[in-house]
Amino acid sequence: MGFWETQENVRVQCTGKIDKFYREGNTLLFYSEKAVQRVKVLSSNCIRITFSSKKTFLDIPSFAVVNEPIEESFSVQEKDEAIFIRTKEITASIDKQNGRIIISDSKGNIISEDIDYGFSWTKDTVKCKKKMSSSDHFYGLGEKTGYLDKKGRKYVMWNTDEPTHTPTKDPLYKTIPLLITFNGHYASGIFVDKTCKLWFDLGEENNEYFTFEAEDFEMDYYFIYGPGIKRVISTYCDLTGKMSLPPMWALGYQQCRFSYYPEEMVKSLADSFRQKDIPCDVIYLDIDYMNKYRVFTWNSNRFPDPEKMLKELREKGFKVVTIVDPGVKKDAEYDVYVEGVKKDLFCKQVTGEIYHGKVWPGVAAFPDFSKEETRQWWGEKHQELLGKGVAGIWNDMNEPSDFSIESQDRTLCTVPNDVIMDNDGHPRTFAKYHNSYGFNMCRGTYEGFKKIKPNERPFMVTRSAYAGIQRYSSVWTGDNHSWWEHLAASMPMHMNIGLSGVPFVGGDVGGFQDNATPELFARWMQLGAFTPFFRAHSCIDTKPHEPWEFGEEVEDICRKYIKLRYKLLPYNYNEFYKASQTGLPIMRPLVLEYADDEDVHNLCDQFLYGESIMIAPVYRPSTDKRCVYLPEGGWYDYWTDKVYEGKQYILVDAPLDTLPIFIKCGSIIPMAPEMNYVGEKVVDVLTLEIYPDKETTYSLYEDDGLSNRYKEGEYRITNFELMVNQDGLSFNITPVHKGYDVKREKYVLNFHDINKEPVKIQCTDEFSYYYDVHKRILSITLKDAKTQQVITVNY
């Protein structure tokens, strides 16, 4: 066992010589004089490494990991210098002299290498140090400021209520400790499954190595080999679970403010959307709907009959989502507080007394969501909201924020570290469970939602989160500002959250704090229309931020892009379906699809929405042109149908009403008719915008968008296939799963970039067609026969 003194005179110890090792099934244990480390082989590309400086493991059930497989097909070989663990894809060697782990791929390429030693520790923390090369890029880590590539900075994982997201501000609201490393050739991931404070130093201290460190005596991390970035994410989501399909209305436009009240204002807001022909599905109620900020109550003066109001709004196509904060007001006459005390459901001080902090209702207790009994009780309390017709829940302040702690350091403005949490018989201090608090609040809400409304899909959005949150909730990125800088910063932030396994992400369109200018609001609305979670939100002391409050020109722009969002609903919903199957993000950086292209490895101001649509927002004032990078392949300008070859930068016009949008050659984009809200119309005519390449395939998923019956097979999948040759093209429509009647009557097939009027068109069913010589679009209309259909076109 070795140790040395650091500059701060802190005693640091390292693993030292491995004295003995044992194998038990898929697990290997390595003992040194004062420490033990464990390696579990989970699959051919994933191993779990746990280290303890106390020679004993916590073995507390993970909040994040819900599926830990067991790999049996691997070999173990002991040599003089190391023990080698080999699967089909990777080899991990454990150095006998110091416990250092080196992981190689099947070709012998080193993909992860501890340097100096294995693990080191002080009395407070455990650290792992790994070699870093100049070609390495780092992605993931959830909600962080800065560019797409996180290299060169040190990041703190500690959920914090931090409203000023300046470029180097850290930490923020969410902790998702998944680090993806990509060196231009292959990718790997490290998921540190610890809910205590963590640090990732990605080259700030030294450009030859990176470290991750936990404020605990134990380190527990999963190593995932790609070699592609997509496989790293999918493997991580196999461990932590994938997003379930949300209700389709949650993909529509959502309007929020702190706060809309009383009831008359909410109704007037709803009427304005319909009168002004601006689609909207959701209106939010912030804390002022409550009785003096007591959760699970209504202010009877402002909302005398909430059930009636909610019913009237539903009839107009509006859903209402209410905010719920974790702080429960200390009040002997408040039944929620009294029940929590009697049932022993609140976080406690070391002395056994309930800890009381201060939030919106004043002095308040904080439920101990680490207990199953608390989560069940909390979920049941939502009957007061969901039972009256509330459609979704907005979880806020759940870092948790605590106003009673005054400090310039926002990381301290939370429940004190020495408060005790039970965690179903695994009690530890709040410091050890801090980052899971909001996660478990969402977990309780989600489980309660399923019991109260068993036939509906839960919808929730949360500010605070931990790894695995995608199983329970969507996320938004907290209290941003009406700054151009925050508009720009939202792109890499959203993309990295998506790369961290959370597809359903967005930010406050227009900015929450301060006042948006008309130009800023218009540009933010354009971007927001292509974020998975699409909500405008503003603070209580700002000017009105509804789409019509910035003048006629901006109102028209908002209407245009919100309507486009609804027209793209079939495409959007299909991307959500794919995300629910793979865990891959919907709003994705170009490096995910074009990893071989060095120009996209840190491209932050463009993104792909799904696989086919590329968005290049304008994020600076007084700008009417935009430089856009086009990766390999052909790209259609969505507005003009001009085709560009990839692997080049182009300059495009982008006046205030124009968001540069490009469609990848070989794409099929399903579109619906305009509607004021999701479900207003039966989509009896499905339009397919077809952008030909030599071969194009597309699979479309459809279900009722509301119930859970899709889990029992009530859905439809239709495959579309396009083949192009010098004489013409053929297009096949093939239903492959018919478990749901989509009530579709017709298809409209719009083939773009058709330079000749057809000489002959044949179809297995009745059809009509029109060729627009100026737009070069061939439009074919035919009925949906619910069976295979073949269309051939000869020029």
Can you give the residue ranges of every domain in the chain? Answer: 2-240, 252-325+372-399+430-582, 587-664, 682-794
Helical ranges in 293-436 per DSSP H: 306-315, 335-342, 372-381, 383-386, 430-433
Separation CA 661–CA 628 (nearest Å): 10
Those residues whose C-beta lies under 8 Å from the C-beta of residue 206, and which sit 6 or more positions away, are: none
**Residue 599 to residues 228, 348, 596: CA-CA distances in angstroms?**
17, 52, 9
Q: 681 phi and psi, to 5 degrees?
A: -125, 150
* pLDDT value for 21: 94
Please give the angle made by the CA atoms of 422, 425 and 427, to the nearest 5 degrees. 40
For residue range 262-274, list pLDDT tens digits in order.
999 999 999 999 9
CB atoms within 10 A of CB 768: 11
Identify the DSSP state of 296.
T
* pLDDT value for 752: 97
Considering the candidates 402, 479, 689, 784, report the single residue annotated as catalytic: 479
Separation CA 679–CA 27 (nearest Å): 51
Q: Is 530 helix (H, G, I), strand (E, B) or coil?
A: coil
For residue 693, give both structure tokens. 């390449």
For residue 517, give both structure tokens. 């200018």
**Residue type at position 531:** T
Same fold, 587-664 and 682-794: yes
Q: 466 phi and psi, to 5 degrees?
A: -130, 170
Q: What is the pTM of this model?
A: 0.97
Q: Which CATH number fits domain 587-664: 3.40.30.10, 3.40.190.290, 2.60.40.1180, 3.90.226.10?
A: 2.60.40.1180
Please give the angle made by the CA atoms of 520, 140 and 463, to the nearest 5 degrees. 60
For residue 699, give both structure tokens. 């699979």
CATH architecture for residues 682-794: Sandwich (2.60)
- Reference 427, options 414, 418, 416, 439; nearest CA is 418
In CATH, what number does 252-325+372-399+430-582 get?
3.20.20.80
Separation CA 46–CA 206 (nearest Å): 28
Is residue 52 within 8 Å of 37, Cβ to Cβ? yes
Those residues whose C-beta lies under 8 Å from the C-beta of residue 244, and which sit 6 or more positions away, are: 457, 458, 471, 580
Q: 735 phi and psi, to 5 degrees?
A: -70, 125
* pLDDT value for 9: 63
**Residue 139 to residues 97, 105, 146, 586: CA-CA distances in angstroms?**
32, 21, 11, 16
Separation CA 552–CA 659 (nearest Å): 18
For residue range 133-170, list pLDDT tens digits in order.
999 999 999 999 999 999 999 999 999 999 888 999 99
- Residue with the two structure tokens 């679009």: 777
Residues of the chain with pLDDT under 70: 1-9
**Residue 633 to residues 603, 692, 791: CA-CA distances in angstroms?**
18, 12, 26
Is residue 41 within 8 Å of 223, Cβ to Cβ? no
For residue 739, give both structure tokens. 């478990």
CATH architecture for residues 2-240: Sandwich (2.60)
Considering the candidates 399, 402, 447, 575, report the single residue annotated as catalytic: 399
Considering the candidates 95, 149, 213, 396, report the single residue annotated as catalytic: 396
Q: Is 505 helix (H, G, I), strand (E, B) or coil?
A: strand
- Reference 174, options 140, 142, 221; nearest CA is 142
User: What is the number of residues in the chain?
Assistant: 795
- Reference 677, options 565, 521, 528, 790; nearest CA is 565
Separation CA 731–CA 723 (nearest Å): 6
* pLDDT value for 710: 97
399 a catalytic residue: yes
479 a catalytic residue: yes
Q: 618 phi and psi, to 5 degrees?
A: -90, 125
Q: 77 phi and psi, to 5 degrees?
A: -130, 130
